[in-house]
Amino acid sequence: MATHTAEPAAGGEAAVEHLTLEDRVWLLRAMLMMRGLEERAMTLYRQGKVPGSFYDGYGQEAVSAGAAFAMGPQDRLCILHRDLAAHLIRGVSPARILAQYMGRAAGITRGRDGNVHFGDRHLGCVGMVSMLPDMMLVATGMAMAFKLRGEARCAMTWFGDGSTSRGDFHEAMNWAGVQKLPVIFVLENNQYAYSTPVDKQYAVDPVERAAAYGFVGVTVDGNDAEAMFEAVHAARERALNGDGPTLIEAVTMRMHGHAAHDDMKYVPKEQVEEWRKRDPIERQENRLRVLGVDIDSLRASIKAEIDAAAEEALAGPMPDPSSAVEGVFCEGEAEPLGDGQAPWSGFGAA
């Protein structure tokens, strides 16, 4: 149960460890799309088209992109609010994401919940709640079902440094450990829970708590998408082998405020500057540029996709007010979560 830090891949090879070149470009695509969509949504927010609050994962894109990329189609995810790339990798369309932010009828929740509180059930994702980390228990429960039924699948969830202080973190860790469940807990340590820095949050680095609950904890560079992938891939193998859960602490930095209305004055400028140098997208671009990938063309195609998505989302109607009281109960059969996309070459995807 020793912790170790995953090493970033040595530069210069097209395929590394478990990733082909296409895979590595996919990771960059997902991160660029996440950042681009969030920037577009932020503009829409400032133009008054996104109601409520707006949250993004600027600077943390690798944590969700790398981790989600290692998940198979039958695996199940509980995705959090700074993990938009995970939704993209599973197959949610950018237009629906923007519609979701704007509270339109075409959004994944059809206006019933806002910003990143969504999960496309047809793609195997459970929509988060605001009480964090409630979803850790849901992921644990999904893993429990997989184990009871003897299925080769796992569940994964993300949560932040702040939520490790709540009871549900401990109940989930304990339950997963005592029942040795195929679940992956990704702790996004982005140094701050709103304005609370980690040294006010816990007395020990939470990755060490994995040992207390009887399983492996690893620390990973959260700004390296490929390192994230490798760590989650290894955790998934562990889970499928029946060796139980893994806690992965992804070390990263929240580069924007807690939400769009927070200017993060409480974060020392030097800290922000230090982390800017480690931007995950820049890092991945540098790796791929060396391998001859046309970054500019990639960026351009993503921008075009986002423009088209914004146009589509803006053209869509708001939900019908009379539908506000519908759908509280399921009236028909309960449908379990469906399978998501899994573009990693290791899953045999085209």
Partner 1 sequence: MPTLTYLQAISSALRDELRADPRVLLMGEDIGVFGGAFKVTDGFVDEFGTDRVMDTPLAESGIIGTAIGAAVVGMRPVCEMQFSDFISCGFDQLVNVAGKMHYRQGLAVPITVRLPSGGGFSGGPFHSQNPEAWFMHSPGIKVVAPSTASDAKGLLHAAIHDPNPVCYMEHKHLYRRVKGEVPSGVFETPFTARVAQPGSDLVVIAYGAMVSVAMEAVSDGLDGASVEVLDLRSLVPLDEEAILDSVERCSKVVIIDEANSTCAAGAQVAALIAEKGFESLDGPVVRVATPDVPIPFSPPLEAAVLPGVERVREACRELLAY
Partner 2 sequence: MSSSPTDVLVDVTMPQMGVSVAEGTVVAWRVEVGDSIEADATIAEISTDKIDTEVPSPASGVVTEILVPVESTVSVGTVMARIAATGASQPQSLDGEPAGQTRTETPIPSLPRAGNGHRRYSPVVQRIAAEHGVDLEQVSGTGRGGRVRKQDVLAFMESAPVEEPPLHIESPYRPDPVAPVVDGGLSRMRRQIGQHMKRSLEVTATCTTWIEVDMSRVEAARTRVGVTGLSFVARACIDALREHPALNAWLDGETYTRLSDVNLGIAVSLGDDGLIVPVVQRAHELSVEGLAARIRDVARRARARELTPDDVQGGTFTITNPGQYGSIMATPIINLPQVAILDFEAVIKRAVVVTDADGNDSIAIRPMTILGLSWDHRALDGALAAQFLATVKRLLESVS
Per CB under 8 A, residues contacting partner 1 are 76, 108-109, 112-113, 117-119, 121, 126-127, 129-131, 134-146, 148, 155, 167-168, 171-172, 174-175, 178, 327-330, 332-337
As a whole number of Å, the CA-based R_g of the chain is 19
In this structure, how many other beta carbons lie within 10 angstroms of the beta carbon of residue 76? 28
Give the bridge partners for 5, in sequence order. Answer: 219
CB of residue 68 vs partner 1: minimum separation in angstroms? 18
Q: Is the CB of 81 or the CB of 287 nearer to partner 1? A: 81
CB of residue 182 vs partner 2: minimum separation in angstroms? 38
CB of residue 53 vs partner 2: minimum separation in angstroms? 6
Q: 91 with 123: CB under 8 angstroms?
A: yes
Q: 145 with 182: CB under 8 angstroms?
A: no
- What residues contact 334, with CB distance under 8 A and at least 6 apart? none
In this structure, how many other beta carbons lie within 10 angstroms of the beta carbon of residue 326? 11
* Binding partner at 109 among partner 1, partner 2, none, C-beta below 5 to 8 Å by kind: partner 1
Q: Which residues bind partner 2 (CB under 8 A)?
A: 43, 45-49, 51-53, 102, 104-105, 257, 259-263, 314-322
**Helix, strand, or coil here: 217?**
strand
The H or E element that residue 143 is part of is helix 134-149
Q: Is the CB of 43 or the CB of 241 nearer to partner 2? A: 43
| C-alpha to C-alpha distance for 323 and 91, rounded to whole angstroms | 27
Q: Is the CB of 21 or the CB of 259 nearer to partner 2? A: 259
- What residues contact 317, with CB distance under 8 A and at least 6 apart? 104, 105
* Binding partner at 12 among partner 2, partner 1, none, C-beta below 5 to 8 Å by kind: none
Q: 119 with 125: CB under 8 angstroms?
A: yes
Whose tokens are 């800290």? That residue is 271
CB of residue 119 vs partner 1: minimum separation in angstroms? 6
* Binding partner at 185 among partner 2, partner 1, none, C-beta below 5 to 8 Å by kind: none
Q: Is the CB of 7 or the CB of 39 nearer to partner 2? A: 39
Q: Is the CB of 101 or the CB of 229 nearer to partner 2? A: 101
* Binding partner at 117 among partner 1, partner 2, none, C-beta below 5 to 8 Å by kind: partner 1
Q: Is the CB of 175 or the CB of 215 nearer to partner 1? A: 175
* Binding partner at 262 among partner 2, partner 1, none, C-beta below 5 to 8 Å by kind: partner 2
| C-alpha to C-alpha distance for 228 and 220, rounded to whole angstroms | 7
